[in-house]
Amino acid sequence: MSLNEVSLRIPTEHMANVFGQFDANIKKIERTLGVTVVVRDDQLKIIGTSSAASGAQEVFEQLYELAKRGNVISEQNVNYALALLQEHKGSEMVEMDKDVICHTIQGKPVKPKTLGQKDYVDNIRKKMIVFGMGPAGTGKTYLAMAMAITAFKNEEVGRIILTRPAIEAGEKLGFLPGDLQSKVDPYLRPLYDALYQIMGAESFQKNMEKGLIEVAPLAYMRGRTLDNAFIILDEAQNTTPAQMKMFLTRIGFGSKAVITGDATQKDLAPGSKSGLDVALRVLKNVEEIGICKLTSKDVVRHPLVQKIVQAYDDYESRQSSRSARKSARQEKK
């Protein structure tokens, strides 16, 4: 087997970032692609088969471009660059990095980090209603929140409405002590966290007092028409079909709605249908509605979370296959 050698220059000021702590990124690329990387001054010499060496060169070039754009190169960046290489989509990594939605209160850019997230964000821009499904850590809610805040700041909408089904309390919040805000806060805390991070607590409180930002349980949407608003329904897998229909028919003129959920994390009573599942079947052919399915590949938390999500996906697939085979055997009897 003949080996090829390719060279690449990485300026010394970017080396520590691109190579990782103790050259962890170099070692990861070497193991994954079966190449040897030799560093001399600001030159990288990559030795391997023709395809492996050119692939490693492409990965290093993508990481270098990200570093030049001010990114701190993470293990997730390296893993995703390698994954995109297998799909022959390596060049799209830098293009994604250019799509800055907004900045957090600390000045950190909020942007899609995977192709699935990029498709999700693009759908939100183009469509009036978007369904975003996927496991924990795929950025469904956070990206929707960033898009809502951007639309609000750009005066594309007049207000932001955030809602969740308060399933843990059976949505019977009237039986709990305290005012509405104190009742729903525990269920809506993840939405507040994202708002504080992007908008800042002071700006959030000011707009909330003016009624320009509203955070409420889904039950309180009944009977309203929501015009000129960016509406996010989170944890939609815990809605009933009636609740989902009620929500979708609230959306008025000049509004945009994003519905997020994870079909594997339902808290509904056993045997109950999920409003999210029903809506996806009923509305799948409506052109104005975007449907985005994020996967374990789109998890942007710690790499271990990605492995956990994938392991559960595999387990649930095996369980479904066993159930199907068992049902088939029973039918034959």
Which of 52, 274, 246, 77 has its CA nearest to residue 163? 246
Least confident of 7-11, 183-187, 261-265, 283-287: 183-187
Which of 15, 11, 28, 10 has its CA nearest to residue 75? 28
Q: How far is CA 159 from the centre of its chain?
A: 23
Which of 314, 309, 234 has its CA nearest to residue 276? 234
**CA angle, 187 as apex, 206 and 297 as ends, to 5°?**
100
Least confident of 41-55, 174-188, 265-279: 174-188
Check whether 333 has a pLDDT greater than 70.
no
Sequence ranges of the domains in the chain: 4-97, 102-301
pLDDT tens digits for 203-231?
A: 989 999 999 999 888 888 888 888 999 99
Which of 142, 140, 275 has its CA nearest to residue 221? 275
DSSP per-residue codes, 163-225: EE--GGGTT-GGGSSS-HHHHHHHHHHHHHHHHHHHH-HHHHHHHHHTTSEEEEEGGGGTT--
* Cα 133 to Cα 291: distance, rounded to the nearest angstrom: 8
Averaged pLDDT for residues 165-189: 58
Which of 229, 303, 274 has its CA nearest to residue 80? 303
State the greatest distance between any 2 C-alpha atoms of the chain, in Å, as a whole number: 75
Q: How far is CA 214 from the centre of its chain?
A: 23
Return the percentage of the chain with pLDDT > 70, whole number: 89
- What's the CA dihedral at 164, 170, 174, 180 to 10 degrees? -20
Averaged pLDDT for residues 260-277: 89
Check whether 272 has a pLDDT greater than 80.
yes
DSSP per-residue codes, 106-124: TS-EE---SHHHHHHHHHH
What pLDDT does residue 1 have? 65
Q: How far is CA 332 from the centre of its chain?
A: 43
Residues in the chain: 333
Please give the structure tokens belonging to residue 300. 């942007």
Which of 328, 331, 148 has its CA nearest to residue 232? 148
Q: Which residue has the tokens 């296959």?
A: 321
DSSP per-residue codes, 124-136: HHH-SEEEEE--T
What pLDDT does residue 170 have? 44
* Cα 147 to Cα 253: distance, rounded to the nearest angstrom: 18
The residues, ordered by sequence, that sit 6+ positions from 105 with a Cβ below 8 Å of its Cβ are 196, 197, 198, 199, 200
4-97 classified as CATH 3.30.1370.10: yes
What pLDDT does residue 88 have? 87
Task: Select the more confidently predicted residue: 322 or 199.
Answer: 199
* Cα 45 to Cα 238: distance, rounded to the nearest angstrom: 53
Q: Topology of 102-301 in CATH?
A: Rossmann fold (3.40.50)
Check whether 154 has a pLDDT greater than 70.
yes
Which of 313, 319, 306, 292 has its CA nearest to residue 121? 292
